[in-house]
Chains A and B, each alone.
Chain A
Amino acid sequence: MQKGEDNARYGLLIDYEYCTNCHTCEVACKKELGLKPGEYGIKVLEDGPRQNPSGKWEWSYLPVPTSLCNLCEKRVAEGRKPTCVHHCQSGIMYYGPVEELAKKLAEKPKMVLYSK
């Protein structure tokens, strides 16, 4: 978990198939970074709801880290997970070196990998 000595690039992997728009990551991030109303380190975007030709509903949320995201460098230095990863109510956020996360990315559909 602790950021290694290596120069590997770190990032966030999000299994957005199960993102519920619970706002936990947004608020946790605001508190960690001391952001004011209107400012975000991560923002959840919405697609849908919309009905596909099959009748199935399409409704996805996609959390997007902003340029204010510093991958919780202070927490990570203390040996903690980023606060969004720690608290995500669906448990769908992962932090680590992008190379490792990329392997995980291959495990299932509907995931996104953000590098920082």
Chain B
Amino acid sequence: MFEDFNMELYRTEARWQEGEYTVTRTSVWTAPGCHNGCGVLLYSKNGKLEKIEGDPNAPFNRGRLCLRCINMIEQVYSNDRLKWPLKRVGEKGDNKWQRITWDEAYDIIEAKYNEIKDNHGVESIATLVGTGRNSMWQPAVITRAIFGSPNLCFGFLSGDSCYQPRMTANLIKLGDCVISDCSQTHPLREKNSEWKKPEVIVVWGNNPLVSNGDGFMGHWIVDMMRLGTKLIVVDPALTWLAAKADIWLRGRPGTDAALALGFLNVIINEDLYDHDFVENWTYGFEDLVERVKEYPPEKVADITWIPKDQIVEAARMYAKAKPAAIQWGLAIDMQMAAMEASGAITDLMALTGNIDVPGGNIIQRYAYNRSKKYGSAIEYIPEEMLLKRIGTYESPIHESGYTPFIPPDKLLECLETGRPYPVQMLWLQGTNPIANMAGEAPRVYAAMKKVPFCVVVDLFMTPSAVAFADLVLPAAMSVERDSFRAWWTPLRSIARGAEQYEQSKSDEEIVLDLGKRIRPDRFDKYKDVNEYLTQLLKEDGGVDYDFDTLVERVNDFWDWDYTYQKHEKGLLRSDGQPGFVTPTGLYEFTSPLFDVWGFDMLPKHIEPVEGPYTTPELMREFPLILTTGNRLWGCFHSEHRQLPTMREIHPDPMMDINPQTAKELGINEGDWVWLENRRGRCKQKARFNIGLDPKVVRGEHGWWFPEKEGAEPTLYGVFDSNINNLTTMGVHGPTHYGAPYKSTVCKVYKVTPENDRVSPTEIVTRMGGFSYAKR
């Protein structure tokens, strides 16, 4: 299927001329927002991008693209894009701006920085970033190396509940991160003679076809299915993959830890585990054996609402398949028991001997260790400044640096109380928190309003920019940038294939411009972005070539990443000994670190804070379990809402409801309905979903309406359909990780003219929020 491209047209150089077009062969990563970095061919004329195609010679995507990159031209040349730096005139929220130059913008930032440094200390500058796009290391460098502040925060994502729990569980248990092996790490893909197809893939807590999370291209699953791989899908909703699976486990949201413990119980009791791996490479197995005794399948069935026989059958199917991979996702992070579920699922991979074997869950590092992502520039923060991190001392995992972030829930408290010190300035780069990441969005809105000075770097004017920003800076898109990608493998060039739109600048240029102004001692040594990128490629034992060479190579696969059984070969530890990068050198079923921190060393189930077993009284008023955050094909989180081609596919925010439940509530398909709980309400359109448990409903996230008025009180309707009117902040698991975005409660009822007199956005922006919240 991928072989018969016309290789005369699809060349392997990095740049060529094809008639009137200059063709640039590279990869794309931000914008558009996405966790992937597909290979593309950019066809431009006179500096303007005219066409885009998937690069058949990119092993990552082999010519394929999703609708968002296919729609690139519409986005790059959208008249709604920010064109030049804007300075606020009028009040915050008025959406009144004055065009200024970059120099004027930098003057304002520099003056503000100096004033804050002299009067308050640089720690009172905090940065908010969004999910894993090519806008991670840049704000981290601006915050730490340029401003000198230690306060980098995941844009009010309660409980850091996106990949941080899963990565941390991996790091604590085996010292590295694992991903499912669909042959993507080797340039020859399935033809790599060492690779084996996973006999079974467990798709757990994600719909990868749509989400493409964590650098995993979802349609690789389809490639595997076509080779004969069988699926087990864990999802509260019927997805297309669930419909095709041998076993679909429809669990109650927020009970993944219990389910994983049930699997562990069956696999241990039926002696289906990999004795060789357990005996030679693991620590603490006996403790795990004891713990899983508390989770017999009958009990797990009661907790998860999954029939016992299905749990047993799925556990057997996974354990007997050699090899088998678990393709896990965000839902695991978005619950109270995020760490517990992440740990138990990692244990499953180890127990069945699937760690770092072909077709299993393989150990990956960022290609040539070239990416520090959110952790960048931490070395610039001296010890006494680290101690000033907001809220970090309350969470041992944060304090010991397993995540580079300060806890978002604590930053919110800090904005609300001014303790330990008032935040004077917020820097937002590629994040739109009130539309997307922030739990309890109306509360975050009120808190962010208190911060005196705010800069937003983005592509489009957003509700967060209108509500809070003093300065808005226009960012360049991927096709206009020089950058690179080293998230997993290969190392990929991101080369400019078009001139930058109007006066937009790339995130890299903004780093360098600001760095040269504020910290010339650190940044004057780089003549330009090209030199800076070369330094990042080469420093600390990186590659031995410069950025231009990477642009020529386009893709560079790191052989380390496609070497299997690295723990046996002594490739993981700095001492060169076999084993894992853990205190015992073994895979750790029990974590001594957890003990030191005062956490339970072994996985366990934690009930959602709101639900039938924790708050039965509350269920009388709010009888449905609410899960949120299912992905949209054409809209990445809060992005893409201003693009006609994407809105044609997603015109309105949709909530899913079982038709039987809808009937009882007098709701017809397509009706606008309110979803409401103690914290607030929002309206979405009902869509029938017969795969959903009648007691569970699902709401979309990220909705705002660029077509509506930007100025408050309308504020692009950002709170009207905002599912985060119903979610929480400050409610998280014992480790400070994981928040119940996907497992709270609500009631659903029809929108009528009588109950829709004042819009939720007006309630939030003009009336101090929902009355529930004020109570």
Contacts and interface: CB of A to CB of B under 8 A. Distances in A.
Interface of A: 1-2, 18, 20-24, 26-28, 30-31, 37-38, 48-51, 57-59, 61, 78-81, 83, 86-92, 94
Interface string B610-642: 000000000000000000000001100000000
B5 A91 contact: no
Interface stretch (B188-196, B220-228, B350-358, B541-549): B220-228
Contact of B6 (A1, A18, A30, A58): A1
B242 A57 contact: yes
A20 B240 contact: yes
Given A79-B8, A89-B64, A20 B219 contact: yes
23 contacts: A18-B226, A20-B222, A20-B240, A22-B633, A24-B67, A24-B70, A37-B648, A48-B243, A49-B690, A50-B690, A51-B690, A57-B248, A59-B243, A79-B8, A81-B6, A83-B53, A86-B63, A87-B65, A87-B70, A90-B222, A91-B62, A91-B222, A94-B1
Contacts of B145: none
B8 A92 contact: no
Contacts of B242: 57
B54 A86 contact: yes
A31 B66 CA distance: 13
Given A23-B649, A24-B70, A49-B243, 9 more contacts: A18-B225, A22-B209, A37-B644, A49-B238, A51-B690, A57-B243, A57-B248, A86-B56, A89-B209
Max chain B C-beta neighbours (<10 A), residue from A38, A59, A92 = A59
A87 B644 CA distance: 21
Interface in B430-481: none
B644 A49 contact: no
B1 A91 contact: yes
B369 interface: no
A37 to B, nearest CB: 4
Contacts of B648: 37-38
Contact of B65 (A24, A50, A59): A24
Nearest to A30: B645
Contact of A88 (B64, B238, B248, B691): B64
Given A24-B67, A30-B645, A90-B219, A79 B691 contact: no
Contacts of B226: 18
Given A80-B6, A91-B223, A57 B64 contact: no
A49 B649 CA distance: 19
Contact of A27 (B62, B64, B645): B645
Contacts of B691: 49, 57
B67 A27 contact: yes
Contacts of B56: 86
B351 to A, nearest CB: 30
B772 interface: no
Contacts of A27: 67, 70-71, 634, 645
Interface in B239-253: 240, 242-244, 248
A19 to B, nearest CB: 9
Nearest to B634: A23
Contacts of A83: 53
Contacts, number: 101
A31 B222 contact: no
A54 to B, nearest CB: 13
Contacts of A91: 1-2, 62, 64, 219, 222-223
A26 B634 CA distance: 12
Contact of B219 (A2, A37, A89): A89
A21 B64 contact: no
Contacts of B66: 22, 24, 89
A74 B524 CA distance: 50
B73 interface: yes
B53 A1 contact: no
B64 A31 contact: no
B238 A81 contact: no
Nearest to A50: B690
CB-CB nearest 8 A-B residue pairs: A57-B243, A59-B243, A91-B1, A27-B67, A89-B219, A37-B648, A79-B6, A90-B222
Interface in B276-319: none
A72 B379 CA distance: 54
B4 interface: yes
A59 B240 contact: yes
A19 B27 CA distance: 25
B758 interface: no
Interface in B49-92: 53-54, 56, 62-67, 70-71, 73
A96 to B, nearest CB: 10
Contacts of B4: 1
Contact of B70 (A1, A2, A28): A28
Max chain A C-beta neighbours (<10 A), residue from B53, B240, B633 = B240
B596 interface: no
A15 to B, nearest CB: 8
Contacts of B5: 81, 86
Interface string B186-223: 00000000000000000000000110000000010011
